[in-house]
Amino acid sequence: MNDIQAHNPPPAKAPAASNATDDPFLWLEDIRGARSMDWVKRQNAVTTKQFVDNAEFASTRDSILEVLDSDARIPYVNRMGNHLYNFWRDKTHPRGVWRRATLEEYRKAEPQWEVLLDIDALNKTEDKRWVFKGAQCLKPAFERCLISLSPDGGDAIAVREFSIPHKAFVKNGFELPVAKSQVGWIDQDSIYVGTDFGPGSMTESSYPRIVKQWKRGTPLAAATTVYEGKPTDLAISAYHDRTPGYERDFVSVAKDFFHSELYQRNGDKLTKLDVPADADADAHREWLLVRLRSPWTVDGTTYPSGALLATQFDSFIAGSAHFSVLFRPDAHTSLDSYAWTRNHLILNLMDDVKSRLEVLTPPQIAMPGSAWARQAMPGAPAMSTISVIDTDPDHNDEYWLDVTSFLTPSSLERGVLDNLPVQTIKQEPAFFDAAKFSVSQHFVNSKDGTRVPYFEIAPKNIQLDGSNRTLLYGYGGFEVSLQPHYSGSIGRAWLDRGGVYVIANIRGGGEYGPQWHQAALKANRPRAYEDFAAVAEDLVKRGVTSARHLGAEGGSNGGLLMGNMLTMYPQLFGAIACEVPLLDMKRYIHLSAGASWMAEYGNPDTDDWNFIKTFSPYQNMSEGGHHPPVLFYTATSDDRVGPVQARKMAARMQAQGHSNVWFYENLEGGHGAGADNQQSAHMHAMAYDFLWDQLK
């Protein structure tokens, strides 16, 4: 699911009596209960014996781990002041080190890093198993930071204040216990904090309902309430923009994943920004950008869904509604993201799911209504993804790009607009022989005639005789786009074996903007499943594979996709890997953070159940009939989707007499199912070996 910071969910609500009668596996919802964990241990033992305790698994796992632990990987960085910061895990530091270097040092083949925080050493000292979840540092000095640490890799975090000059946590500094907290600096002595303040302080989605201003040296109980939302809101947060000359405070009221209200805070006064609830509003210096999810008519002009608009912030607050259109979508092109530099705006666009960049230059503030200058940023390789991963908009026009494609190892590039052409700073090594493979993009008409793209990575000498073991991956939700990317793990664990790897860009994602996502919302959710099935059928029609050689894989919302492949289209697949999945759509809003996804799926406690039940795999799985072998894997510490969904589905299928139903649950790792590289390699190797074995 989307990456809103999350923490340990509240206990599941007591099921209604009718549910208790209908669902014999409710006891598995007791996440850490003795009976549940005994069941998990028995399942893990069976799956381990079948797929883990053999030389082939060890080889696959070690091959993936070599990629994840490689010292030759790119150490991706973000700039804070005069230093570049990086978090790094490897064989020596399985939980990782947070470190920094100057640009001059970073350019070297083997930089000398200044280690700020060693998580493995911290765990040894405190006898914990902390997982690093990021740092927020106070600009412009960047000497004080709020460090987030998860006890088990889940979304739950403890927050501690850290001093970079002293390389130590601040004694009597800002500190929060493990909770679903959202924090941010205001100044040296105050922060915004949303956390579990006690009963009733969290939303039904298990995120902060109240945001407060907390001053240094005072107890949390004395923090001043800034905004108090409703229990039905998704989450409440506040933040301070420290841009010199444009310091502002904002309160964000997220109603659901796609609707929110943004307020400017001036003392006790809150001024709502009058933009559509489903739009994203972003203030930067003198500008306000508005990214639309639906058409918006303002001042007599209608702007389309997917457009990016700009206006002067102060004029807009004063009532002006004059906008410049910075991006207007078409049938093939959508806006993926944007990033400010000091004097420019970089747009990251997708043309049929392939990247290109444009650089926009705003007009002078004294020239309202004048056009933004626009030019293309050249150099995008074919079928690639380019991401702007960092800029320094307070000071200069520096930008950092990650350039990746299916067969070309990723590169990290740096440039300065109007000054320094882009240069390659770091290059990922090749982890498999890409010369043996080719990449192609195909399109297929779905059931309702919609044109759906997919990428195929296959051996150059592929025989189109239906015999190729093929893995089809999909997601299809929450506006998430699946774009070309280099993966040494997939290359080694699947392609090098002779397999074909396919990514389906189905509806529900963001590949063609908001409308592509909205086409599979709520009652239209089955459109995503029809798209995925259409790709599967096209692979067979083209002779790439056949049903018994075709596997499917997906996680989270993609796990729900896999569950529906099991129940709706079992005849199309030879095996399915269903990872950290959402499956019980009748109970999902009462489990972990499930209530936060009602804007995507609907509310099963209302008449929405009439359409939700059509795509709820847990309820739709029945005895008899053909079902391909399936592996469910999840994590006990997953406090976003939760492990109970996969548990109950596996238990139900086994009780119904379905054969080849496998289950594995990692104790740590949260929604990623791996708290370190070793655990991640284990989980991925198990899935790839399971699929390869079943599709032979």
What are the catalytic residues?
556, 671
**Interatomic CA distance for residues 511 and 531, integer angstroms:** 13
Do 573 and 545 form a contact (C-beta atoms < 8 A)? no
Q: What angle is formed at CA 28 by the lines to CA 25 and CA 32, rounded to 5 degrees?
A: 170
**Ramachandran angles phi, psi of 272, nearest 5°:** -75, 135
Chain centroid, CA 135 distance in Å: 18
Do 539 and 547 form a contact (C-beta atoms < 8 A)? no
DSSP lists the bridge partners of residue 485 as: none
Token output for 197: 């303040």
Token output for 434: 């890409």
Do 671 and 1 form a contact (C-beta atoms < 8 A)? yes
Long-range contacts of 213-218 (CB under 8 A, 24+ apart): 213/186, 213/238, 214/174, 214/190, 215/189, 215/190, 216/173, 216/174, 216/188, 216/189, 216/190, 217/172, 217/189
Among 285, 322, 327, which residue's Cα sits nearest to residue 304?
327
User: 539 by DSSP, 3-state: which?
Assistant: helix
Q: How many Cα atoms occupy the beta-carbon half-sphere of 660 within 13 Å?
A: 15
Tell me the CA distances in angstroms from 444 to 323, 330, 534, 676, one per residue in order: 38, 19, 7, 38
Q: How many Cα atoms occupy the beta-carbon half-sphere of 627 within 13 Å?
A: 29
